[in-house]
Amino acid sequence: MQMLSPYRVLDLTTERGLLCGQVLGDLGADVIKVEPPGGAPARRLGPFLNDEAHPDRSLYWWAYNRNKRSVTLDIDRPEGRALLRRMANSADFLIESFNPGEMAARGLGYEDLAALNPAVVYVSISAFGQDGPKATYADADLIIMAAGGPLMLTGDDDRPPVRLSVPQAYLHASADAAVGALAAHHESVRSGRGQRVDVAAQESVAMATQSWVLAAPLGSVEIRRMSGGVKIGELNIPLVWPARDGYIALTFLFGTALGVFTRKLMHYICERGLCDQATRDKDWIAFGDQLASGAEPISEFERVVEIVRSFTRSHTKAELLQFALERGFLMTPITTIEEVVKSPQLESRGYWQSVEHPELGRSIRYPGPFAKFSATPIAYRHRPPTVGEHNREVYCGELGLSAAELAGLAEKGIV
pLDDT at 415: 98
d(CA 120, CA 275): 66
Parts of the chain with a pLDDT under 70: 1, 225-230
Judge if 69 and 197 occupy the same domain.
yes
- Residue 339 maps to a domain: no
Q: What is the pLDDT of residue 216?
A: 79
From CA 104, how far away is CA 74, in angstroms rounded?
16
- Cα separation, 406 vs 242, whole angstroms: 61
Q: Where among 290, 305, 334 does a domain terminate?
A: 334
Question: For residue range 151-170, what is the model confidence (pLDDT) as tens digits?
Answer: 888 888 788 888 877 899 99
Which pLDDT score is estimated for 346? Answer: 96
- What is the amino acid identity at position 42? A
Question: Is residue 1, in this structure, part of any structural domain at all?
Answer: no
Domain count, the chain: 2
- Give residue 311's pLDDT: 98
Q: Which amino acid would we find at residue 265?
A: L
Residue at 2 is within a domain: no
Residue of 234, 252, 237, 240 whose CA lies nearest to 298? 234
Question: In this predicted structure, what is the pLDDT of residue 227?
Answer: 67
How far is 414 from 43, CA to CA, in rounded Å?
Answer: 19
Other CB atoms within 10 A of residue 153 CB: 18
Q: What is the pLDDT of residue 388?
A: 98
Is residue 327, in this structure, part of any structural domain at all?
yes
Between the alpha carbon of residue 97 and those of residues 125, 150, 257, the distances in Å are 5, 22, 43
Give the HSE-up count for residue 301: Cα atoms under 13 Å, Cβ half-sphere.
21
Indicate whether 94 and 202 sit together in one domain: yes
3-state secondary structure of 199: strand
Q: What is the pLDDT of residue 251?
A: 93
Note down the domain range covering 200: 8-208+345-411
Contact 95, 102 (CB under 8 A): no
- Final residue before a domain boundary, out of 334, 367, 396: 334
Evaluate whether residue 340 is within a structural domain.
no
Residues 178, 127, single domain; the answer is yes
Residues 162 and 192 placed together within one structural domain of the fold: yes
Residues 58 and 30 in one domain: yes
